[in-house]
Amino acid sequence: MSLPTPPSIGVEEEFLLVDPTTGQPQMRNAAVASTATELGVPLQLELSQCQVEANSPVCWDSDDLRAHLRKMRVTAADAAARHDCRLLASGTPPMGPGRMPVSDSERYRRMADRYGTLALEQGICGCHVHVDVPDRETRVQVCNHVRPWLPILLALSANSPIHRGIDSRYASWRTILWSRWPVSGPPPVFASADHYDAFVSMMIDCGGLLDERMVYWDIRPSSHLPTVEVRVSDVLPTVDQTVLLATLVRALVMTALSSIHRGDAAPEIGMETLRVANWIAARDGLSGKGIDPNTTKSVPCGRQLGLLLGHVHESLDELGEFRRVETSLRREVADGNGAIWQRRAMARNQCVAEVVRSAAERPHPDCGPRPPGVGDRHWAI
C-alpha cells in the first residue's frame, strides 16, 4: 500500500563536550547551549553537564534532513570551541571519570536524587528518530511491528566501544549502560494504547519512573509529539550515517503502516529472544552475527542487513531512496561503522587520545583528516 503522503521525519542527536587536549569531558553544556542559541541553533541540555542535544526541524526528505543536521553540527561545534571544548559524536566518553554532575534543572536534580549513581554515570549519547504517526492507537501498533528490527539498527549504529580508557569489548557500551534503567531496551508487545498507558501509569505509581518521559524503550510512542520515536541507536559519527539510519527508520514505519492497513498481525518474537538479539548487537555490532527476526536463526550481520533492505524495499522505492540506501549499506559493511572506526584509531598507537582526536575533528565537511581506511568520508560529516 502506498501512503497518501510519506510521513515527515525529525532527528535528535546528543553530543559530548570534551577538552581539546586531554579528551576529558567538560561540564560546560549551559554555556555552550547559550552560545549556540545566539548563533541560531538552539541546543538542549542533557542529563550530564558534559552533554548537549540538537533537534532537527520537521523534514520531508533526506536531503533536507542532511542540510539541517550539517548546520546543527557545525554550529554546535563552533559554540563548543568558543568555550574551549570540542564536540564529540560518540555514544560514551572514551576518557573520563565514572561520575559526572547533572545539569542544572529541577527535573534532573530529582532524577539524581531518586536514581543516585545511575543518573551520575549517565554521560552517554544516542540518536533518536521521530516519524510522524498522528493516531496514538496506530503509534502503539507501529511499535509492535517495528520492534523485531531494532537489533540490526543497533548493530548498524554502534559507536561506543571505548570507555574510561579501555576497549569495553562491546561495539555499543552505551547500550549496556542504558539497560540499567527501569524501563529500557526492547519493549514488549502492547494490545492497545490503553494497555500501554496502563503499564506506564503503573510504573509511575510504583516509583519506577518520574513520568512518561522516562519510558526509555528503544521504540515508543513519543510522550510529547505525534510520532513514533526510535531511540535504539548510538549517536553516529557522520551526518551521512545519521541520514541512512533515519531513512531506514522512516521506511520501517511506512512498512508497518502498510501492514496495519492490510490487517496483518505484528511479527511474533518473544521478549527474551529480542533481548538476546539486542545484547548480541551491542556486543558485536557489524562484526558478528545477528538473529533473523523472521526465523530467530543466527545469521551474519550482512545477511541481516539484506533482510532489512528487502523488508522495506517497497517503502524505500516510494521515497525514491532504495538505490542510495543500498549503496550506503554496502559501504557501511565494507568500511565499518563508528565502533570499528574507534577501534582502528585505538590500534594505530594504543592511545585513547587518538580515539578522541579522530572522533572530535571539527564537524565540518572541509575540516579534519579522514580515518585511514575509511573511503572518502570524513569522521564528523
pLDDT at 369: 36
**Residue 295 domain-assigned?**
yes
C-alpha span between 143 and 222 (Å, rounded):
11
List all residues 6 or more positions away from 367 whose beta carbon is below 8 Å from its beta carbon: 361, 378, 380
* pLDDT (0 to 100) of residue 4: 73
Greater model confidence, 2 or 348: 348
Kindly give the interhelix angle for 29-38 and 62-81, rounded to the nearest 10 degrees.
120
- What domain range is 192 assigned to? 9-359
In a domain, 170, yes or no: yes
367 assigned to some structural domain = no
Q: What is the pLDDT averaged over residues 35-49?
A: 97
Q: What is the mean pLDDT of residues 30-54?
A: 97
User: Structural domain tally of the chain?
Assistant: 1
- Please give the pLDDT value at position 47: 96
In a domain? residue 306? yes
- Across the range 147-157, mean pLDDT stands at 97
pLDDT band at 350 (very low <50, low <70, confident <90, very high): confident
Instruction: Using alpha carbons, select from 326, 325, 329 the residue that is nearest to residue 337.
Output: 329
Predicted structure pTM score: 0.93
- Top pLDDT among 51 and 21 is at 51
Higher pLDDT, 162 or 2: 162
Do the domain assignments include residue 300? yes
What is the crossing angle of helices 239-262 and 301-311, to 10°?
50
- Note whether 227 and 139 are within 8 A (CB): yes
Whether 342 has a pLDDT exceeding 80, the answer reads yes
Calpha distance 89→11 (Å, rounded): 14
Tell me the residue ranges of DSSP E strands in the chain: 9-18, 43-45, 51-55, 86-88, 126-132, 162-163, 166-167, 184-185, 216-217, 219-221, 227-234, 289-291, 298-300
Written as nine digits, the cell of 321 is 531512496
Give the residue-averaged pLDDT of 183-195: 97
Task: Tell me how far CA of residue 291 lies from CA of 169, 230, 377, in angstroms.
Answer: 20, 19, 30
Question: Does the pLDDT value for residue 41 go beyond 90?
Answer: yes
Average pLDDT for 283-288 = 94
Give per-residue pLDDT as tens, 107-117: 999 999 999 99
CATH code, 35: 3.30.590.20
Q: Find the largest Cα–Cα distance for the chain.
A: 57
* Overall average pLDDT of the 326-338 stretch: 95
Query: What pLDDT was estimated at residue 3?
Result: 62
| Residue 363 pLDDT | 46
Looking at residue 289, the DSSP 8-state letter turns out to be E
What is the per-residue pLDDT for 99?
92
At residue 1 the predicted structure's pLDDT band, cuts being 50, 70 and 90, is: low
Radius of gyration of the chain (CA): 19
pLDDT of residue 361: 63
